[in-house]
Structure 1
């Protein structure tokens, strides 16, 4: 067997052993071998390697066997063996989040800082210092970008909030950080955050729709357990959905402008700012006619968009996120009923469970996923 093939086989076996320990802990070496149909010597060798790297720990002796035999040493996954850093770039600063390998937040802080590369680097160092975490234990660093991002090449194609076009972001950050670095679009990241620790935990097929307050709308598609990026990394551009009535009015999509559908379901379609948004939904709750009309029209358009995406993609769940989603709980039943009426393909529509943290957690999950071979 060629050396490369042998290394790949070893990695596959190592991943299987680690995942078995992680999902079924506490578990003995013998039971791992039994579950995977591996020899005990193979499992013992892999476990010794994982313990040396601190990914696995011995948790103590298990219960005795029915026959009263010797109690086996049980194993557990050690989530504190490595850490990930997520950085969300925003118009008004940075959101930095440090997690362990299970997604438990060790430190989270919002900083009023610039987005130049040196400042970002210094903020990351400061956060690690506050968390008492050494850079040596950081497995990867991910960046959540509010704009079109080529995640494969680490290039920010277009981020209007920062005036960035075709910025080689990852290459620039690597001048400061000697760690694996990844970048992805903020909506994609939010979807991955939901899949890691939120309402889409472990789901293989779902849609995440982000509806911003001052910004527009976007969606991310997870199909068969993977993000759908599209040829130009523009899959899920729900803003550009269009209907016959739009065409008849000569309302079509133009690059660089708000999409036709976006104008119907963005935060700006409801109110210009947060205080007006609060007043609108307060009026809706009090059956104020104009507020009810505005909110119902929004709910209808949103339901149409969701129903069309459900018919096309057959997701198990649709999750609504972004600032506007926090106001939609009173409408959720109506939106669910409308979607069920518009398409025979059943799905659940829910509000995000983790809210504003979804993106920064998701980019950590994305970075970990890209670095699976580190173990």
Structure 2
């Protein structure tokens, strides 16, 4: 029997796992809640025990595993696996690679979660056949992965691909979680869309969003997208504004790296053609003609599996 690859995608709410074949096909998948109490001290033990438990359930041992790949939302040293900080997990100065290798006696390789999702889409998803790829994940925040000639670009200290923190609003920019003002994330993430909608919602009593917000006191990006799909004018305006800034940022990156494929993923991407067509319009406005000719925009196809598949690719190609 060929040895399995183990892919792990660590999120602030859930940790997703999969056993995969050497070809990247998922054999078995599961998830557990992320325990962020006590500065995330239980996360590494939980990962190790969950893998051992599921191997036992599948009548396998660690002898049947080639290695473990991990994607985590963290600032890290990619070579050593040392994590400097993972704000959503409570981690600071954690050597996850050494700790997991000690617990499981298996080799471990780690990368940023957005990079890993990009690799997943390149290997088995919307980026198949492309070695020069830009992948953008739009969720609570905005993450990005840049692949050049089949390799993830990390930069000098692992900060390459922080697309969500490109400054797009120079005047009256909103404060971002990173400490800067006017980041793309404040305009085009799920959080940014909601903030925009609430800011002017009292001026749009005719909108479905106004009615929902006043009835429940809540508004989500999913509600905004759904209202836009139902042709609600205010919701369409919010989506269009978000896509304007996305199109601007993506075009500027594309003008720099000249990718053959641009993949849009994350929860907000479920808006599908509504989102893609609007981004394409503004991308075409700001991208150079030859850059436009060479780049296809596509919605990610792997969904929640992108991270575990990309993490498995790390095992296959980096260990």
Q: Secondary structure at the residue paired with 1:121? A: helix
**Counterparts of 2:159 and 2:34 in 1: how far apart (Å)?**
29
Are 1:296 and 2:236 counterparts? no
Q: Does the CA contact (< 8 Å) of 1:242 and 1:252 recur in 2?
A: no
Q: Does the CA contact (< 8 Å) of 1:89 and 1:146 recur in 2?
A: yes
Are 1:242 and 2:163 counterparts? no
Q: 1:1-375 alignment to 2 at 5 Å?
A: 80-112=1-33, 114=35, 115-212=42-139, 215-243=140-168, 246=170, 248-249=171-172, 255-256=178-179, 260-271=183-194, 276-343=220-287, 344=289, 345-346=291-292, 347-371=295-319
Greater CA deviation, 249-258 or 148-157?
249-258
TM-score w.r.t. length of structure 1: 0.72
Q: CA deviation at 1:121?
A: 1.2
Q: CA deviation at 1:250?
A: 7.0
**Counterparts of 1:348 and 1:274 in 2: how far apart (Å)?**
36
Q: Does the CA contact (< 8 Å) of 1:142 and 1:367 recur in 2?
A: yes
Q: CA deviation at 1:143?
A: 1.4
Return closer, same or farther for 1:274/1:112 CA change in 2, 3 Å cut-off: farther
Q: Does the CA contact (< 8 Å) of 1:220 and 1:227 recur in 2?
A: yes
Q: Does the CA contact (< 8 Å) of 2:133 and 2:261 recur in 1?
A: yes
TM-score w.r.t. length of structure 2: 0.83
Residues 150-179 of structure 1: CA distance to partner in whole angstroms, max 9, x if unpaired? 211101121011211221111111221111
Structure of higher RCO (CA pairs closer than 8 Å, 6+ residues apart)? 2
Q: Does the CA contact (< 8 Å) of 1:336 and 1:348 recur in 2?
A: no
Q: Which runs of no fewer than 5 residues in structure 1 stay unpaired?
A: 1-79
Q: Secondary structure at the residue paired with 2:155? A: coil
**Counterparts of 1:182 and 1:258 in 2: how far apart (Å)?**
34
Greater CA deviation, 342-351 or 129-138?
129-138
Q: RMSD over aligned Cα, in angstroms?
A: 2.3
Q: Which runs of no fewer than 5 residues in structure 2 stay unpaired?
A: 36-41, 196-216
Residues 65-112 of structure 1: CA distance to partner in whole angstroms, max 9, x if unpaired? xxxxxxxxxxxxxxx512111122222332110001001111001123
Q: Secondary structure at the residue paired with 1:203? A: coil
- Number of aligned residue pairs: 288
Larger Cα Rg: Structure 1 or Structure 2?
A: 1
Residues 198-244 of structure 1: CA distance to partner in whole angstroms, max 9, x if unpaired? 111242101000111xx31111100011100011101011122124x
Return closer, same or farther for 1:262/1:274 CA change in 2, 3 Å cut-off: same
Q: Does the CA contact (< 8 Å) of 1:239 and 1:259 recur in 2?
A: no
**Counterparts of 2:231 and 2:49 in 1: how far apart (Å)?**
51
